[in-house]
Amino acid sequence: MPPAKTTAPTAASVEAQITTILSKFAAKDQQLIRAVRKALQKRFPTANELVYDYARNFVIGYSPTQAGGQGIAALSADKDGVRLYLTNGASLPDPHKLLQGKAQARYVPLGSAAVLLWPEVEALFVAAEKSAKVPLAASGRGEVIIKPGAAEKKPRKKPAKR
Protein backbone atom coordinates (compact mmCIF):
# COMPACT_ATOMS: atom_id res chain seq x y z
CA MET A 1 0.00 0.00 0.00
CA PRO A 2 1.54 3.37 -0.99
CA PRO A 3 2.18 5.92 1.77
CA ALA A 4 -0.54 8.47 2.34
CA LYS A 5 0.06 11.74 0.56
CA THR A 6 0.32 14.84 2.68
CA THR A 7 -0.49 18.20 1.28
CA ALA A 8 0.97 21.46 2.43
CA PRO A 9 -1.57 23.92 3.75
CA THR A 10 -2.47 26.70 1.37
CA ALA A 11 -1.63 30.30 2.15
CA ALA A 12 -5.36 30.98 2.52
CA SER A 13 -5.82 28.19 5.07
CA VAL A 14 -2.78 29.33 7.06
CA GLU A 15 -4.10 32.90 7.14
CA ALA A 16 -7.52 31.58 8.20
CA GLN A 17 -5.85 29.77 11.10
CA ILE A 18 -4.09 32.97 12.13
CA THR A 19 -7.39 34.89 11.93
CA THR A 20 -9.01 32.28 14.17
CA ILE A 21 -6.19 32.54 16.69
CA LEU A 22 -6.37 36.34 16.69
CA SER A 23 -10.11 36.26 17.33
CA LYS A 24 -9.40 35.60 21.02
CA PHE A 25 -7.98 39.14 21.31
CA ALA A 26 -9.91 42.40 21.55
CA ALA A 27 -10.45 44.18 18.22
CA LYS A 28 -7.94 46.93 19.11
CA ASP A 29 -5.27 44.32 19.91
CA GLN A 30 -6.03 42.38 16.72
CA GLN A 31 -5.47 45.55 14.72
CA LEU A 32 -2.14 46.19 16.47
CA ILE A 33 -0.98 42.59 16.02
CA ARG A 34 -1.80 42.71 12.29
CA ALA A 35 0.00 46.05 11.86
CA VAL A 36 3.09 44.81 13.70
CA ARG A 37 3.08 41.58 11.69
CA LYS A 38 2.87 43.51 8.42
CA ALA A 39 5.79 45.74 9.48
CA LEU A 40 7.90 42.72 10.51
CA GLN A 41 7.12 40.94 7.22
CA LYS A 42 8.36 44.02 5.39
CA ARG A 43 11.47 44.30 7.60
CA PHE A 44 12.34 40.58 7.36
CA PRO A 45 10.94 39.48 3.96
CA THR A 46 13.10 36.35 3.67
CA ALA A 47 12.44 35.11 7.21
CA ASN A 48 10.04 32.29 7.92
CA GLU A 49 7.13 33.26 10.12
CA LEU A 50 6.80 30.61 12.82
CA VAL A 51 3.33 30.88 14.34
CA TYR A 52 2.69 29.52 17.83
CA ASP A 53 -0.65 29.53 19.66
CA TYR A 54 -0.04 28.85 23.32
CA ALA A 55 -2.60 28.82 26.12
CA ARG A 56 -1.47 32.21 27.43
CA ASN A 57 0.03 33.93 24.40
CA PHE A 58 0.36 34.11 20.64
CA VAL A 59 3.80 34.31 19.06
CA ILE A 60 5.13 34.80 15.54
CA GLY A 61 8.87 34.25 15.32
CA TYR A 62 10.94 35.50 12.39
CA SER A 63 13.63 32.94 11.63
CA PRO A 64 15.95 32.06 8.74
CA THR A 65 15.09 28.38 9.37
CA GLN A 66 12.12 26.41 10.65
CA ALA A 67 13.63 26.45 14.15
CA GLY A 68 12.36 29.11 16.52
CA GLY A 69 15.61 29.06 18.48
CA GLN A 70 17.41 30.44 15.44
CA GLY A 71 14.97 33.32 15.12
CA ILE A 72 15.95 36.96 15.12
CA ALA A 73 12.80 38.63 16.36
CA ALA A 74 9.34 37.64 17.53
CA LEU A 75 5.96 39.30 17.93
CA SER A 76 4.30 38.17 21.15
CA ALA A 77 0.80 39.02 22.34
CA ASP A 78 -1.08 38.14 25.49
CA LYS A 79 -3.53 39.74 27.91
CA ASP A 80 -0.81 42.17 29.03
CA GLY A 81 -0.09 43.57 25.57
CA VAL A 82 2.02 43.21 22.45
CA ARG A 83 5.80 42.98 22.57
CA LEU A 84 8.70 42.70 20.17
CA TYR A 85 11.25 40.16 21.39
CA LEU A 86 14.81 40.10 20.11
CA THR A 87 16.90 36.97 20.33
CA ASN A 88 20.22 37.56 22.08
CA GLY A 89 18.63 40.73 23.46
CA ALA A 90 20.72 40.71 26.61
CA SER A 91 23.91 41.02 24.55
CA LEU A 92 22.63 43.66 22.09
CA PRO A 93 23.84 47.24 22.37
CA ASP A 94 20.90 49.24 23.75
CA PRO A 95 22.10 52.79 24.48
CA HIS A 96 18.51 54.09 24.56
CA LYS A 97 17.43 51.46 27.12
CA LEU A 98 14.45 50.27 25.05
CA LEU A 99 14.83 46.57 25.89
CA GLN A 100 13.04 45.21 28.93
CA GLY A 101 13.06 41.87 30.67
CA LYS A 102 15.65 39.72 32.37
CA ALA A 103 15.96 36.71 30.08
CA GLN A 104 18.28 36.40 27.09
CA ALA A 105 15.45 37.37 24.70
CA ARG A 106 14.66 40.93 25.74
CA TYR A 107 11.62 42.83 24.49
CA VAL A 108 10.25 46.22 23.52
CA PRO A 109 6.63 46.87 24.55
CA LEU A 110 4.54 47.95 21.57
CA GLY A 111 1.65 50.37 21.84
CA SER A 112 1.86 51.04 18.10
CA ALA A 113 3.45 49.49 15.03
CA ALA A 114 5.13 52.87 14.44
CA VAL A 115 7.63 51.96 17.19
CA LEU A 116 9.18 49.51 14.71
CA LEU A 117 10.12 52.46 12.49
CA TRP A 118 12.16 54.25 15.15
CA PRO A 119 15.87 54.46 14.27
CA GLU A 120 16.70 53.08 17.73
CA VAL A 121 14.61 49.95 17.02
CA GLU A 122 16.15 49.58 13.56
CA ALA A 123 19.58 49.64 15.22
CA LEU A 124 18.40 46.79 17.49
CA PHE A 125 17.18 44.83 14.43
CA VAL A 126 20.55 45.26 12.72
CA ALA A 127 22.41 44.16 15.84
CA ALA A 128 20.08 41.14 16.30
CA GLU A 129 20.66 40.09 12.68
CA LYS A 130 24.44 40.38 13.11
CA SER A 131 24.34 38.24 16.26
CA ALA A 132 22.19 35.51 14.68
CA LYS A 133 23.80 32.09 14.32
CA VAL A 134 22.15 31.61 10.91
CA PRO A 135 21.90 34.60 8.56
CA LEU A 136 18.72 35.51 6.74
CA ALA A 137 18.63 34.71 3.03
CA ALA A 138 19.60 37.64 0.81
CA SER A 139 16.63 37.10 -1.50
CA GLY A 140 13.39 35.17 -1.76
CA ARG A 141 10.37 34.94 0.51
CA GLY A 142 9.95 33.17 3.79
CA GLU A 143 7.13 30.75 4.54
CA VAL A 144 4.39 30.97 7.14
CA ILE A 145 4.58 27.85 9.29
CA ILE A 146 2.01 26.99 11.95
CA LYS A 147 3.88 25.27 14.76
CA PRO A 148 2.21 22.97 17.28
CA GLY A 149 0.88 24.80 20.31
CA ALA A 150 1.50 23.64 23.84
CA ALA A 151 -1.70 21.57 23.86
CA GLU A 152 -0.72 19.79 20.62
CA LYS A 153 2.83 18.85 21.57
CA LYS A 154 3.53 15.29 22.46
CA PRO A 155 4.24 14.80 26.15
CA ARG A 156 7.87 14.28 26.99
CA LYS A 157 8.91 10.82 27.93
CA LYS A 158 9.74 10.41 31.59
CA PRO A 159 13.37 9.53 32.18
CA ALA A 160 14.02 5.92 33.01
CA LYS A 161 14.55 5.19 36.68
CA ARG A 162 18.00 3.99 37.55
Please indicate, yes or no, if residue 69 is contained in any of the structural domains: yes
Q: What is the pLDDT of residues 115-134, one digit of tens each?
A: 999 999 999 999 999 988 88
Please indicate, yes or no, if residue 1 is contained in any of the structural domains: no
> Is 67 buried (19+), middle (13-18) or exposed (0-12) by CB count in 10 A?
middle
Mean pLDDT rounded to a whole number for the chain: 85
Report strand pairing: 81-86 vs 106-110. antiparallel
In the structure, how many helices (H) and strands (E) does the chain have? 3, 6
CATH classification at residue 112 = 3.90.1150
Whether the predicted model's global pTM rises above the 0.85 cut: no
Please indicate, yes or no, if residue 106 is contained in any of the structural domains: yes
Q: What is the pLDDT of residues 41-84, one digit of tens each?
A: 999 999 999 999 988 899 999 999 888 788 899 999 999 899 99
Please indicate, yes or no, if residue 149 is contained in any of the structural domains: no
Residue among 65, 58, 13 at smallest CA distance from 34: 58
Please name the amino acid found at residue 50. L
